[in-house]
């Protein structure tokens, strides 16, 4: 969904494990012609390496010096009956700050679209609130819920049988209960903005992205779409989409335009 000249904001948890892979993605998007900016607490600026990817800090009274360092101390002690709830409450506080400050921040820098890390629900919710197209990025695959895979924080061995799936389901019930401070924070803002608070809504909708792409093409803007699959054995496969221009004629200049027919992509 890279459109030449579009401004894309990246919203992610303020740790290197989330910022670094998305910075690599942002660098590739910038090379394709987009303007890319991380938006977060002012102290998270140090996580963005000197590159073509920019950074914009929040302008909010609660974004005070030392807040990020305090959060890191909580992340460093994530276990135990005291450490785990404290870490979750700290994460909920970061999400609360983003939900309060992001709408104004994204409007101030005139963002056109959002890349929302799945581990920070504020990104997708604020994009929905501002009616911005967004893409969900996953930088922590173990956090993706799958009934056949045990929750990552429990250390359970993989079991493919019915008992394993039943056990994993119980683990996710416990996980939901522990994460309630975060989900309640997100749900409260969703209801305040008149949005569906369901966690399913934090995942990008392909139909909305396709419509956003069509609107861009209808305005005469060239577009590029490239999807890179997971690395396997040091190689990767590139999926290129072929888009039609507003005249209905296909463009032959792959470097400037692509030709997309709804959901059809050609592999090369």
**Is the same domain home to 24 and 145?**
yes
For residues 194 and 227, membership in a common domain is answered with no
Does residue 213 sit within a domain? no
Residues 189, 123, single domain; the answer is yes
Does residue 161 sit in the same domain as residue 72?
Answer: yes
Q: Where do we find the tokens 């590739």? A: 28
The lowest-confidence range among 14-28, 110-124, 254-268 is: 254-268
* Same domain for 258 and 145: no
Task: Report how far residue 208's alpha carbon sits from residue 230's, in angstroms, rounded to the nearest whole number.
Answer: 24
Question: Looking at the structure, do residues 128 and 53 belong to the same domain, yes or no?
Answer: yes
**186, 59: one domain:** yes
Residues 249 and 179 in one domain: no
* Together in a domain, 62 and 143: yes
211 located within any domain: no
Residue 49 in tokens: 């390496």
C-alpha 186/C-alpha 121 separation (Å) is 7
Q: What is the CATH number of the domain that holds 81?
A: 3.40.50.2000
Radius of gyration of the chain (CA): 20
What CA–CA distance (Å, rounded) separates 79 from 75?
9
* pTM exceeds 0.85: no
Q: Do 40 and 90 have their domain in common?
A: yes
- pLDDT, tens digit (0-9, with 9 covering 90-100), for 129-145: 999 999 999 887 777 78
Per-residue burial over 192-227, b if 16 or more Cβ lie within 10 Å, else e, is: eeeeebebebbebeeeebeebbbebbeeeebbbbee
Residue 20 sits in the same domain as residue 132: yes
Least confident of 79-93, 170-184, 199-213: 199-213
% the chain with pLDDT above 70: 74
Element (H, E) at 8: strand 7-11
Residue 94 pLDDT level (bands cut at 50, 70, 90): very high
Confidence class for position 229, pLDDT limits 50, 70, 90: very low
Q: What domain count does the chain have? A: 2
Is the model's pLDDT at 180 over the cut of 60?
Answer: yes
Residue 210 lies in a domain: no
- For residue 187, pLDDT over 90 is answered with yes
Q: Determine the average pLDDT of the residues in 77-103.
A: 85
Domain-ending residue, one of 204, 230, 249: 204
| Residue 131 sits in the same domain as residue 33 | yes
């Amino acid at each position: 969904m890279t459109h030449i000249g579009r401004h894309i904001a990246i919203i992610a948890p303020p740790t290197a494990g989330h910022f670094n892979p998305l910075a690599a993605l942002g660098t590739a998007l910038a090379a394709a012609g987009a303007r890319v900016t991380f938006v977060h607490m002012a102290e998270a600026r140090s996580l963005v390496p000197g590159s073509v990817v920019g950074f914009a800090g929040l302008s909010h009274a609660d974004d005070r010096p030392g807040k990020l360092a305090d959060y890191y101390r909580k992340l460093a002690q994530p276990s135990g009956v005291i450490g785990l709830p404290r870490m979750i409450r700290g994460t909920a506080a970061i999400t609360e700050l983003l939900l309060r400050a992001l709408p104004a921040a994204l409007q101030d820098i005139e963002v056109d679209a959002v890349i929302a890390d799945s581990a920070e629900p504020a990104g997708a919710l604020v994009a929905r609130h501002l009616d911005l197209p967004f893409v969900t990025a996953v930088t922590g695959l173990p956090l993706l819920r799958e009934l056949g895979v045990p929750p990552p924080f429990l250390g359970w061995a993989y079991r493919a049988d019915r008992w394993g799936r039943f056990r994993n389901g119980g683990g996710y019930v416990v996980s939901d209960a522990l994460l309630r401070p975060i989900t309640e924070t997100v749900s409260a803002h969703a209801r305040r903005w008149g949005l569906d608070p369901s966690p399913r809504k934090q995942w990008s909708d392909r139909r909305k992205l396709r419509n956003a792409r069509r609107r861009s093409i209808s305005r005469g803007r060239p577009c590029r779409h490239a999807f890179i699959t997971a690395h396997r054995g040091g190689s990767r496969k590139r999926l290129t989409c072929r888009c039609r221009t507003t005249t209905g004629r296909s463009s032959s200049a792959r470097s400037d335009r692509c030709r997309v027919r709804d959901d059809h992509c050609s592999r090369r």
